[in-house]
Structure 1
Amino acid sequence: MKLHLLVLLAALAVSACDEMSDQPRYDEYAPSTLFPDGKSMQSPPAGTMARGDPEPLTSLRERPPMSLALLKRGQERFGIYCTPCHDAAGTGHGTVPSRGFPNPPSFHIQRLVDAPSRYFVDVITHGHGVMYSYADRVVPADRWAITAYIRALQLSANTPVAALSRAERTRLREASP
């Protein structure tokens, strides 16, 4: 008796899930009242790209020249995508690891200081260890910008204060809490 009741309930549950197969939609070239131009097929928004589009992949292969604009873009993107795990200084003590996720390695360990810049771009692209790929979030040109900023973090951590100019030391003292 219980088995019959269970089979009946399962059949009812499956038959109730058919609402999704009959949804209203437009065919590709059908007229549409939804959009102002009357077409159902719309052009993609500006800035979007198809998977495998060769143009962005070219920017992934070619390292851009170092510039202040590249570093600033890298700092911005690092703050968005990397800081939650790696923290602002790149030491691997971000808010995500503080809540139980494994700590990522510090960018200041010798292995990563000695690593080629391409390594960081590849890790952003493909992921490594428990870090998943950011290829769908970070455009190829920004991967190089983040890498440039990581290199700046590595240099700044090992630069003695005495190597800074008087103006830079003053700014550093003013910025310190």
Structure 2
Amino acid sequence: LIVLALLLAGCRLDMRDQPRLEPFEASAFFANDASARPLVADTVARGQLHTDTHLYEGRVNGQVAESFPFTVTQQILERGQERYDIFCTPCHGATGAGDGVIIDYGMRAPPSFHDPDLAAEPPGYYFTIITNGTRIMPSYAARIPPEDRWAIIAYIRALQLSQHVNADELPADELPKLEGQ
């Protein structure tokens, strides 16, 4: 009982009850009546200094990136498929042919990823389009992190390769799956 009394004597709510200002609350302390100070020019939040232009902008030496900023693995492709299904399928369709459900609602069909001109574009081109949007496609910069944008692009490349592959380019264990099709 004495130990409990000593422990409870040390529990005070002083820090909880201290005077403080809520964010954006008016205050007479500063000349502009604000409770918070404006950020210093060129302030960068911790962990947000994105100096890797390949990863964060899709550019290498100022040019559209011709490669991925990391090695594409099975895990990256699976993440890309998951993100593609969420963000891209409604417009571009499950196979990337531009036949998503938006067409049923009277919207113009987006381009097919299998169009030869579009398929010839480098990965950095797709990164720029996903980031900034184009025509009626909105920007996804605020919705899809850069790493996921690259994963989606890797999955788009896999879709492009999957549509027009020659049977002799397939592994021998995959050929029986084609019989009867």
| Poorly superposed stretches of 4+, deviation over 6 Å | none
- Between the two proteins, what is the percent identity of the paired residues? 42
1:157 and 2:168 aligned: no
Change (3 A) 1:54 1:88: same
Q: Partner of 2:78 in structure 1?
A: 72
**Residue segments in structure 1 that go unaligned for 5+ positions in a row:** 1-25, 31-49
Q: What CA distance in whole angstroms lies between the structure 2 residues aligned with 1:85 and 1:132?
A: 12
Within a 5 Å distance, the mapping from 1:13-162 to structure 2 comes to 27-28=22-23, 53-55=48-50, 59-61=55-57, 63-162=69-168
Offset at 1:101? 0.9
**Residue segments in structure 2 that go unaligned for 5+ positions in a row:** 1-20, 26-44, 59-68
Q: Which amino acid aligns with 2:138?
A: Y
Offset at 1:61? 4.3
Change (3 A) 1:164 1:128: same
Superposition CA RMSD, Å: 2.9
Q: Partner of 1:10 in structure 2?
A: none
Q: What CA distance in whole angstroms lies between the structure 1 residues aligned with 2:51 and 2:93?
A: 28
Superposed CA offset, 1:56-114 (max 9, x none):
97632471211111111111100110000001100000001221111000000011111
Paired residues, what number? 131
- Structure with a larger share of its residues in helix: 1
Q: What CA distance in whole angstroms lies between the structure 1 residues aligned with 2:130 and 2:175?
A: 33
